[in-house]
Structure 1
Amino acid sequence: MSATHITVRGVNKVFKTDSREVVALKDINLEIPQGQFVCLLGPSGCGKSTLLNAIAGFALPSSGEIHADGKLVTGPGPERGMVFQEYALFPWMTVEKNIAFGLEIKGMPQAQIDQKVDQLLAMLSLGDFKHRFPKDLSGGMRQRVAIARVLALDSPIMLMDEPFGALDALTRRNLQDELLRIWAELKKTIIFVTHSIEEAIYLADRIVVMTYRPGTVKRDIVVELPRLRDPASAEFNSLKRELGQLVMEEQQRHHNDEIRLAAVD
């Protein structure tokens, strides 16, 4: 059994406005071993991204503790790399300069930077695009660059917030396969937020289903299907139906809550 890489203990998150408090996360407890691929799954409003941002150190919990790579999370740290849905590339930098940016900030010698960038360009099939700017790239290519920039920093933990959500189905599947290849090669611990049941089953060792607000852990499911996974298989679709029922229950709670709030207004 691998050592625990991320620990989430008794985490709560409350957002306060002038008129009320919104409990986004309630009593979240998770232990994630090193090298595990975990998907956080649930409908909008269940706190998936809130939990991921807490682990990243961008928005700390109101109470409870998170430890990552043996350290208490008090803010962002180099052991946790974040990939966003919006790509977050510098538009004035070429592909190779975007990938090299973090290494330059760290003060790495230029020869080492060039070697690292060339390795990542090859790994993510970006070599022919190294001198292009983000505006010249497709959405899939931009996301490859964003992933390469995080990999350049060699963070043992990768946090991914619906990174393929805006892509077409074919590009999305290609990048899912790329990510699985990179994960198998580099042995990263990955926490991946998605609202796609099929994506979660295709990618994850483990799926954490979250409830609609306040976000809690509804089910914690180990995915035992062998890789590579066939979405057309009976086993895949059996798990898809099970997860679909769990998510639909939370979507219905969300719908009922909206009706109740509308009636109050």
Structure 2
Amino acid sequence: MRDPHMDAPHIVIDNVSKVYQSGGREVVALRGIGLAVPRGQFVCLLGPSGCGKSTLLNAVAGFAPPSAGRVVADGREVAGPGPDRGMVFQEYALFPWMTVADNIAFGLEIKGARRAEIDATVARLLSMLSLGDFGQRYPKDLSGGMRQRVAIARVLALDSPVMLMDEPFGALDALTRRNLQDELLRIWAELGKTILFVTHSIEEAIYLADRVVVMTYRPGTVKRDLMVELPRPRDPAAPGFNALARELGTLVMEEQRRHQHDELRREAAD
């Protein structure tokens, strides 16, 4: 008999709003966000700076609870960070005094895993992410792309069913970014993770995602929720890819212009 739990959404974002104080005034970062993410789906949150993509991701991670509404992960309301939700940041966030292998092992050691399990997991992930020759190197010895591989491996070591990724490839050159995008797709297909991925790149969103959620400029709401029906592997030069890029580009530019208009109005008021 099929487990009905497997058919329930893996992540539910239920009417989430976020308000914070900045410079003595109230800022509404998110308003009434509602999303249900099925298990194993790859979702990209897309929009211009200031639309609340990272704020929403942090709410799912449990780093910044919503002011209203709730986030539910695997049937449990999110009340803080947890090992069921692994986070990959743009800044790598590696421990510079630890080797690559020790960085990957860190979470497992905190959990109290057995040494044999830790060593086997680290060896498997070093191989999976093409880091086999770098286990005893330090982060300072690695390129940006290699450091991000280590950051991804560290999250995978904990076997979190949900991966939350905040513009993880944004600071990389185009070739390295594409290589890591392909690595991430391979890992996602192999391990079946549920992924929420923040990006401001339209091409990256289409290349990676099953589904693209376009957010409005502040207050962040869902402007459009689109399934990407293009077959994989995806060709950025294909007509269907470019047609979708134009559609998403129109949506994002509408919000970018609204952002610019808001900034000009604020400067005039000051």
Give TM class, smaller chain. Answer: over 0.9
Q: 2:3 aligns to what?
A: none
Residue 2 of structure 1 and its aligned partner are, at CA, apart by 4.2
Q: 2:184 aligns to what?
A: 179
**Residue 132 of structure 1: SS of its match in structure 2?**
coil
| TM-score, normalised by the number of residues in structure 2 | 0.97
Deviations 1:132-173 (A, max 9, x none): 000000000000000000000000000000000000000000
Residue 236 of structure 1, aligned match among 229, 234, 241: 241
- Pairing 1:153–2:158 present: yes
* Structure 2 unpaired stretches of 5+: 1-5
Q: 1:139 aligns to what?
A: 144
Residue 118 of structure 1, aligned match among 95, 101, 123: 123
**Residue 4 of structure 1: SS of its match in structure 2?**
coil
Q: 1:264 aligns to what?
A: 269
1:173-252 superposed matches below 5 A: 173-252=178-257
Which amino acid in structure 1 is aligned with residue 195 of structure 2?
A: I
Aligned residue-pair number: 265
Q: 1:92 aligns to what?
A: 97
Residue 240 of structure 1 and its aligned partner are, at CA, apart by 0.1
- Pairing 1:79–2:58 present: no
Which amino acid in structure 1 is aligned with residue 14 of structure 2?
A: R
Which amino acid in structure 2 is aligned with residue 197 of structure 1?
A: I
Identity among equivalent positions (%) equals 77
Which amino acid in structure 2 is aligned with residue 122 of structure 1?
A: S
Residue 67 of structure 2, aligned match among 56, 62, 70: 62
Which whole-Å CA distance do the structure 2 matches of 1:131 and 1:145 have between them? 12
Which whole-Å CA distance do the structure 1 matches of 2:22 and 2:237 have between them? 46
Shifted more, 14-23 versus 55-64: the winner is 14-23
Which amino acid in structure 1 is aligned with residue 267 of structure 2?
A: A
Which amino acid in structure 2 is aligned with residue 154 of structure 1?
A: D
* Structure 1 unpaired stretches of 5+: none
Which whole-Å CA distance do the structure 1 matches of 2:228 and 2:22 have between them? 39
Which whole-Å CA distance do the structure 1 matches of 2:263 and 2:178 have between them? 34
Which whole-Å CA distance do the structure 2 matches of 1:17 and 1:195 have between them? 23
Deviations 1:204-241 (A, max 9, x none): 00000000000000000000000000000000000000
Which amino acid in structure 2 is aligned with residue 177 of structure 1?
A: D
Residue 3 of structure 1 and its aligned partner are, at CA, apart by 2.9
**Residue 251 of structure 1: SS of its match in structure 2?**
helix
Q: 2:259 aligns to what?
A: 254
Residue 69 of structure 1 and its aligned partner are, at CA, apart by 1.5
Which whole-Å CA distance do the structure 2 matches of 1:169 and 1:80 have between them? 28
Q: 1:22 aligns to what?
A: 27
- Pairing 1:167–2:172 present: yes
Q: Compared with structure 1, are the counterparts of its residues 94 and 256 closer, same or farther at alpha carbon in structure 2 (3 Å cutoff)? A: same
Residue 122 of structure 1 and its aligned partner are, at CA, apart by 0.4
Runs of 4+ in structure 1 deviating by more than 3 angstroms, as ranges, are: none
Deviations 1:10-50 (A, max 9, x none): 10000124621000000000000000000000000000000
Which whole-Å CA distance do the structure 2 matches of 1:97 and 1:5 have between them? 31
Q: 1:50 aligns to what?
A: 55
Which whole-Å CA distance do the structure 2 matches of 1:17 and 1:25 have between them? 15
Q: 1:107 aligns to what?
A: 112
Which amino acid in structure 2 is aligned with residue 189 of structure 1?
A: T
Q: 2:11 aligns to what?
A: 6
| TM-score, normalised by the number of residues in structure 1 | 0.99
Which whole-Å CA distance do the structure 1 matches of 2:7 and 2:149 have between them? 29
